[in-house]
């Protein structure tokens, strides 16, 4: 990293969205990526990525399948009483751990941009010299940086959302996410989604042959039990498919990773002139299995807009913001809406039984619904 603290573009957060944007923009502009965590680390995530973004990842120089990711073509879903439906995934996808994928992307990003491990505590657009406006960025380690543009890629919930006074941050969210890797015998081309009272659990293989078991549940449902092991035995295992996972599987971690306060409320793709990408712009319900693809896709959208416009011209800011807001809404707004509807259906015992019953009778419905929450292949 050089000593200059002035950049064309600063990216806050180095998850999938931030890292892809850093690689994409790094060969066009002077870019700084600030990530608070050390690489590599595990994240609460189902780790199934739609092929929607495979060509784009290849373009960025990342070949997940070559790195061992498991190609996934089949989908299975069960009701809480274990009724199973099977479908072929319209686009398909692959299974790779965030531990491996974020590390691969980070190694690539380091080549073209400056990277810093620190936590951003404030970011504000201030009037600069010669009537240009620049962002002032301050970090926990008391470092200051300036940048003409800032990408907010800091994920679903961050200290910066409080700083930016975003609406959703004041609302309590009832969701809890739990994830661990297991040793378990299962086919590597399947991603399964099993329902249980108060939530659903994704099961699929990642690059090293381990099985990712990741579930989302309401805090209310979990609080009645209050202990992960008991919750898995007494609530999740009521579904026979999950019973098999927890009885036959061997958890490879001392304890699962957990996160709380996961919000699916509507956010803004542009806030205080910061261009938001990935979960910072909006989060789709994980049952759609599309959050990572959306994060990567939004990085590509914003990068193309920033490369097309001349960012050194201060008059272009308004157009850039407008163009990104429109592209984001065109690409993702409907997917989030469909994700919210499916989530509601699945979590209502009666509605989920009826919907899955219908899906069992008319199996073509499932791929059609999956298509509604997924985009077309991003080149
Ligand atoms: C339970 C669950 C299961 C899921 N399963 C799937 C799935 O199977 N498939 C799928 O496609 N999607 C899934 N998702 C969604 C997916 O995980 C997210 O959509 C995706 O991780 C978003 O990537 P991102 O880059 O926006 O955010 P992240 O990957 O969260 O990255 C944000 C980064 O910003 C950093 N950061 C935060 N604040 C600061 C700060 N102030 N300064 C510096 N750095 C900061 C964080 O440390 C983090 O590394 C799931 C989500 C959940 C909760």
Q: Which helix (H) or strand (E) holds 294?
A: helix 291-308
Instruction: Output the CA–CA distances (angstroms, integers) from residue 88 to 75, 294, 366, in the order listed.
Output: 6, 21, 9
Please report which confidence band the pLDDT of residue 348 belongs to, taking 50, 70 and 90 as the band edges: confident
Element at 150 (helix H, strand E)? strand 144-152
What are the DSSP calls for 105-131, one per residue?
HHHHHHHHSEEEE--EEEEEEEE-GGG
Pairwise pLDDT comparison (296 vs 341), residue with the higher score: 296
For helices 291-308 and 317-347, give the axis angle rounded to 10 degrees: 170
Within a domain: 350? yes
Higher per-residue pLDDT: 184 or 133: 184
**Ligand 1 atom index nearest CA of 280:** 26
Q: Is the pLDDT of residue 184 over 60?
A: yes
Structure confidence at residue 2 as a pLDDT band (50, 70, 90): very low
Whole-number CA gyration radius for the chain: 21
Question: What are φ and ψ of residue 88, in 5° steps?
Answer: -90, 135
Which pLDDT score, from 0 to 100, does residue 350 have?
Answer: 77
> What's CA 157's distance to the chain center, in Å?
12
Nearest CA to ligand 1 atom 3: 45
Q: Is the CB of 262 under 6 A from ligand 1?
A: yes
The boundaries of the domain holding residue 151 are 6-171+262-373
- Please list, in sequence order, all residues whose beta carbon lies within 8 angstroms of the beta carbon of residue 224, skipping any fewer than 6 positions away: none
Dist. CA 99–CA 271, nearest whole Å: 30
Residue 275 resides in a domain:
yes
Q: Is 19 in the pocket of ligand 1 (CB under 6 A)?
A: no
Residues 356 and 345: their CA atoms lie apart, in Å, by 10
Report yes or no on whether pTM surpasses 0.85: yes
Does residue 325 sit within a domain?
Answer: yes
d(CA 230, ligand 1 centre) in Å = 27
pLDDT of 378? 60
Each residue of 111-146: pLDDT tens digit?
999 999 999 999 999 876 545 789 999 999 999 999
**Mean pLDDT estimate for the chain:** 91
Pick the closest to residue 15 from 43, 47, 51 (CA basis): 43
96 lines ligand 1 (CB under 6 A): no
Domain count, the chain: 1
Stretch 350-377: mean pLDDT = 71
239, part of any domain: no
Answer whether residue 226 is part of any domain.
no
Under the banding of pLDDT at 50, 70 and 90, the label for residue 101 is: very high
Q: Which atom of ligand 1 is nearest to the CA of 262?
A: 53
What CATH number does residue 363 fall under?
A: 3.50.50.60
Rounded to whole angstroms, the Cα distance separating 120 from 208 reads 33
181 inside domain: no
Substitution candidate for ligand 1 out of 11, 145, 155, 156 with most atoms within 8 A of CB:
155
Which residue, among 134, 101, 171, 155, has the nearest Cα to 312 in the 3D structure?
Answer: 134
242 found inside a domain: no
Query: Is the dihedral angle over the CA atoms 190, 195, 196, 201 positive or is it negative?
Result: positive
Residue 88 alpha carbon to ligand 1 centre in Å = 26
pLDDT band at 206; cut points 50, 70, 90: very high
Nearest by Cα to 30 from 338, 320, 312, 247: 312
Within-domain flag for 223: no
């Amino acid at each position: 990293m050089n000593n200059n603290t002035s950049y064309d573009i600063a990216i806050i957060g180095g998850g999938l969205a931030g890292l892809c944007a850093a690689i994409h923009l790094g060969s066009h502009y002077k870019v700084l990526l600030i990530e608070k965590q050390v690489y590599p680390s595990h994240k609460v995530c189902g780790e199934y990525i739609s092929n929607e973004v495979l060509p784009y990842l290849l373009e960025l120089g990342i070949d997940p399948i070559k790195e061992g990711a498991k190609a996934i073509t089949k989908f299975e879903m069960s009701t809480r009483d274990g009724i199973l439906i099977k479908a072929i995934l319209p686009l398909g996808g692959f299974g790779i751990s965030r531990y491996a994928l974020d590390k691969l992307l980070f190694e690539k990003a380091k080549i073209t941009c400056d990277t810093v491990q620190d936590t951003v505590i404030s970011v504000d657009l201030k009037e600069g010299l010669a009537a240009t406006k620049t962002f002032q960025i301050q970090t926990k380690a008391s470092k200051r940086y300036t940048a003409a543009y800032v990408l907010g890629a800091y994920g679903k919930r961050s200290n910066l959302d409080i700083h930016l006074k975003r609406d959703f941050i004041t609302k309590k969210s009832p969701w809890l996410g739990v994830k661990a890797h297991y040793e378990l015998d299962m086919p590597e081309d399947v991603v399964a989604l099993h329902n249980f009272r108060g939530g659903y659990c994704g099961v699929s293989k990642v690059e090293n042959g381990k099985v990712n078991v990741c579930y989302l549940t309401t805090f209310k449902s979990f609080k009645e039990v209050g202990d992960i092991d008991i919750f898995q035995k007494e609530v999740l295992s009521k579904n026979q498919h999950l019973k098999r996972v927890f009885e036959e599987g061997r958890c490879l971690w001392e304890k699962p990773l957990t996160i709380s306060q996961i919000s699916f409320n509507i956010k803004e793709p542009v806030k205080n002139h910061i261009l938001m990408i990935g979960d910072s712009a909006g989060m789709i319900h994980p049952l759609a299995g599309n959050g990572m693809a959306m994060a990567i896709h939004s990085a590509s959208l914003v990068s193309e807009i920033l490369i097309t416009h001349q960012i050194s011209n201060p008059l272009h800011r308004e157009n850039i913001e407008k163009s990104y807001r429109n592209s984001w809404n065109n690409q993702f707004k409907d997917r989030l809406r469909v994700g919210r509807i499916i989530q509601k259906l699945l979590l209502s015992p009666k509605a989920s039984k009826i919907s899955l019953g219908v899906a069992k009778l008319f199996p073509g419905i499932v791929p059609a619904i999956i298509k509604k929450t997924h985009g077309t292949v991003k080149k």
